[in-house]
Structure 1
Amino acid sequence: MAERRTISRIEPDAMALRALAHPVRMRMLGLLRIEGPATASGLAERLGLNSGATSYHLRQLARHGFIVEDEERGNARDRWWKSAHESTVFHSDNSDDDALDAGIAFAEAALQNQIGQMKAALAQYGSLSAEWRDASTLSDLIIPLTATDAKALIERLNRVIADAMEQAPKLGGPYPPDVEPFTVMLHAFPRPSEEGNEQ
């Protein structure tokens, strides 16, 4: 583990959350955070898009402060983009319906992205080394708690994860030998009723 460092975060408003809720923008931001700076053409190739659509999505991400131009790379013809922050902090805002709706739209898009990542991880599980298989888990735990106790538990778990992030190398690489981006997804909620799961 590296020395402890500060994790840069963005806490978007409702309008920015709506902009990020687009699945292509979410994937672009993830690629820029994890793999480092890229051009519109490089991202277009990775995502199977044309460069015009990619440039449009990049401008939207930049407009809302998620990415910035990487001035150390490229030139007037070849613009490079990088993530402005390592993490997006989303707190549900129940103060008005618009903020709540924007938060739900973002959460739905994020969940779809996470489901895709989990499926890809499971498909590649058999080809992982024994060490990485041993370090991976898929857990489903249900604990009877009050809302206050549940919030305290989430805060403790988030502190543990934040501590690990602060001691790890910065996202975007390059990484030391044997170090890879490791995904931790935390989903926590009151268990939905069986009736609520019926289609």
Structure 2
Amino acid sequence: MNEPQDSHIRNLDARSLRGLAHPLRMQLLYALRFGGPATASQLAEKLGESSGATSYHLRQLAVHGFIEDAPEHGKGRERWWKAVHKGLRFDDALLTDTSPDVRGAAEMVLHEVATTQTRDLSTWLGNRQRWPEEWNRTWTMSSATLRLTPELTQELVEKMHALVDTYRDRAVGGDDANTAQVRIHTHAFPLTTE
């Protein structure tokens, strides 16, 4: 789950990982990162949860520095929340930490990321007919199987991330009617050939 170097990327450590390692917390953070500021009630409705559960987990995310108040959106008593960082950087050393709790939390986070990515793709496949034809011509769900060493695989991953980074600077503002948030998933892992 390596992300490009950026001051808006949160590095996960053992303490922050424990604060994130819950499926609902990850869904809440994801919703705030990609949907913008929201209240616990709005998030509860969106995610099919109780507002009590979302309120509790939002407070836990705030304690660990993943989200913060968004008072510029609030009116009255409702508390608005926003994501602090644009992304997360996962240190593979968390998977080999001496603490079984840290290793378990790291595994849970990785599996939740994989589930979220699968859900993103399934949502697109289920809703693509609602999008204009030009979007239906520009998506991909491709795969390639290469025979590589770990070093060549790392080089490929770094080059893919560098390429994606070149498009961050070219991103179009939100007021262009022909833009959408485009999700890019990259996976690189060895296959068992038995």
Distance 1:160 1:103 in 2: 27
1:84 aligns with 2:84: yes
- Count, aligned residues: 186
Distance 1:83 1:18 in 2: 17
Aligned-pair CA distance for 1:95? 5.3
Distance 1:160 1:7 in 2: 18
- Contact 1:39/1:79, CA 8 A, preserved across alignment: yes
Q: Which runs of 5+ in 1 are unaligned?
A: 1-5, 195-199
What amino acid maps onto 1:179 in structure 2? T
- Contact 1:9/1:88, CA 8 A, preserved across alignment: yes
Distance 1:143 1:190 in 2: 9
- Contact 2:21/2:106, CA 8 A, preserved across alignment: no
Match of 1:154 among 154, 157, 160: 157
Q: What are the within-5 Å matches in structure 2 for residues 31-46 of structure 1?
A: 31-46=31-46
Identify which of structures 1 and 2 has the higher relative contact order when contacts are C-alpha pairs closer than 8 Å and 6+ apart.
1
1:136 aligns with 2:139: yes
Aligned-pair CA distance for 1:175? 4.0
- Contact 1:23/1:113, CA 8 A, preserved across alignment: no
Aligned-pair CA distance for 1:189? 0.5
Q: What are the within-5 Å matches in structure 2 for residues 1-199 of structure 1?
A: 8-74=8-74, 77-93=77-93, 96-98=97-99, 99-168=102-171, 174-194=174-194
Distance 1:157 1:56 in 2: 38
Distance 1:29 1:178 in 2: 26
Aligned-pair CA distance for 1:120? 1.1
Distance 1:95 1:49 in 2: 33
Aligned-pair CA distance for 1:134? 1.5
What amino acid maps onto 2:85 in structure 1? H
Provide closer, same or farther for how the CA distance between residues 162 and 100 of structure 1 changes in structure 2, counting only shifts above 3 A. farther
- Contact 1:18/1:106, CA 8 A, preserved across alignment: no
What amino acid maps onto 1:96 in structure 2? D
- Contact 2:40/2:54, CA 8 A, preserved across alignment: yes
Aligned-pair CA distance for 1:19? 3.1
CA displacement 1:66-122 (0-9 Å, x = unmatched): 111113221562111001011111121155243444322210111111111111111
What amino acid maps onto 2:161 in structure 1? N
Provide closer, same or farther for how the CA distance between residues 82 and 110 of structure 1 changes in structure 2, counting only shifts above 3 A. same
CA displacement 1:174-199 (0-9 Å, x = unmatched): 442211111111111111344xxxxx
What amino acid maps onto 1:71 in structure 2? P
- Contact 1:17/1:103, CA 8 A, preserved across alignment: yes
* TM-score normalised by structure 2 residue count: 0.86
RMSD: 2.0
